[in-house]
A and B are shown apart, each in its own frame.
Chain A
Amino acid sequence: MNDFFNRGPALGLRLVLAIACSVGLMFVDRYTESATQIRSLLTSAVGPLFYAASLPESLIAGASEQLMSQQQLLSENAQLKDRLLQQDVQLQLLSFLQQENDKLRALLGSAPVVQGQRLIAEVLAVYSHPFSHQVVLNKGSNDGVSVHQPIIDEKGVVGQIVSVGPTSSRALLISDNTHAISVRAERTGVRTVAEGLGQWDMLRVIHLPLSTDIREGDRLLTSGLDGRFPEGYPVAEVIQVIKDASQPFMTVHARPYASLDRIRHVLILWPGSQVEAVRQAEEEN
């Protein structure tokens, strides 16, 4: 057995080397600033793998679209037209309200809310490992995506971009264990923080004193105080409030509005301030 691994170091030594390298990597990734760059580099390196892995699914989806009957297509088309009409009507009202809101804000002397830019991205891969809730999107730095941009879907906030490659990017979901988001209760205006638990359908609302007015069914919106997420997007609905007098804080759980387990398309947002900064930079040039 002595000449078992006659090329290179012995097995035990190899293990020690591998463990030392891993621990070094963990340290660099977790506790240093350069991790984001390394991550972005690696994300771009493995980008093609994600495209290859989602190929079967997109082929099946394409085939099933081909095989859809005309009847189905027509009825779907009619439905979509109906919905478009309804939403157009609501939009008319919205633009009026927005104008009014801007005027009122001007009267109050506060800065108007700047409508940001948006980009639709498709989800290439969902990695639902319990220890990391992340998705890979098919838009990258070539489309102008950058780190820390918020992403939303039609129902609510989904997460934020954490690393960017040229054609793909990786987003951390609000349900991830390492994610926290600053929120405000719509009914009472209580500001708090909702952090992920590693479960798709639950967030934990933390540091709420026992006397806080919060109850089941309260809507939690982004407060904009974290500087990442623009103000006013729906995040989660409170589903459970446990008051235990022996604990310093209440235990409050909330369910995210966005269906994080089955997202297909998301919107990447450019918060207003960033857009303004870009515009200013353009004007200066």
Chain B
Amino acid sequence: MKKFITLLLTVVMVLLCSCKVTDTTDIKTSYNFETDVPYFYRTGDAINPIAISPDGYYFIGDFGIAIYVDKNTMKGTPLCNKPNCDHTDRETCNAYISKSIGHFIQYYKGYIYTLNEVYNADKQYYEPILARYNLDGTGFKSMTNPINLSEAGSVADCFIHRGYFYYSTFYGIYRLSMDNLKGEAEKLYKVKNKEEECNNIHCLNAYGNYLYFEPFEINDEGETEEINYSLNLKTLELKKLADNVAGFFNDRLITAKGDPDKDKIYYRICDLDGGNSRKYETLPIDDELRFDPLRKLHYVQINNDSIFPEKLTAYDSKGKELYSTDLPKNSEISFTPQDENYFFEIRTQEDKNGKAKKWLWYANKTDVGNELKFKKLCKLSWAKIELPGYITVG
């Protein structure tokens, strides 16, 4: 009998062990849709409130409302399953899933994640929590404990990448394992000599097994220094990068450095840790290079006055111009993140009553000839009235 039980237990243990799914995503370098942060939506210091799921896109609109855009129809609707709802009451409307100022939203393994807030009466402060929702905006679940910000100021930026929730505060970068989100956060980096009581960590992004960021620190001479770092997420090895991070292309890192004397900006391509750097492209200093995540194309956004972009031109990797579009002059265009299929941007326009309204626009990159055409996608404000206490997008 004992032998039988021992044998049975052994079989059960073997079966149980074989049930463990090995997550192999950390071995691959290439972008993995299910597990990686969509690095291509993170342009420079901008946290674009956009998430991509298998069937559509999620945007955070005005006052924190989530808008779903179906990939098949490219039409948008508030993430609310109530046809009797006018999307004015945050308490009852399902679409108000983001309740933090950063308006973070990301798809990860079948769910939508946002940053919410809970009130800490002792500290008289709203503390952020990572919130999870089903794809239709239902099934809210609080995933983390309120993030302790005693020495941190506030969560400045965050994302989920390869099994970890990363967040930066004014003075440091931390991560929590997605398997143990209620556990202790692991500190990855701390600003050594903070300059001011404001966000000192910029341009947080991740690609493959590397995290990139740019802390503003005071050097020995007492001057503010902007250093670019890459952090190996497996070995936690920190490396200084010679230039700014400009993007990723073909599983490699593109860096940029401007030369004001020559009015040029030099792009270099290197390994993801910054090694094996070589010359890649040289452009006029006012132009910005943006990369298509999948195709061997790159896009140049021409800026005549550094505030309002005026022209968007697509080149292939050999520098041949494919198509371009003139952007409306002096328009407030908030961001132009792109993925393999679309450009997105927010334009502010006046409605019939002369009120400024924000609209989401998009351009399909796959059905263009010589010109890139932007079309209206949907409005960003759905509430009948202006809701108090929340910032608007753009």
- Genuine A/B complex: no
A-side residues, CB < 8 A to B, are none
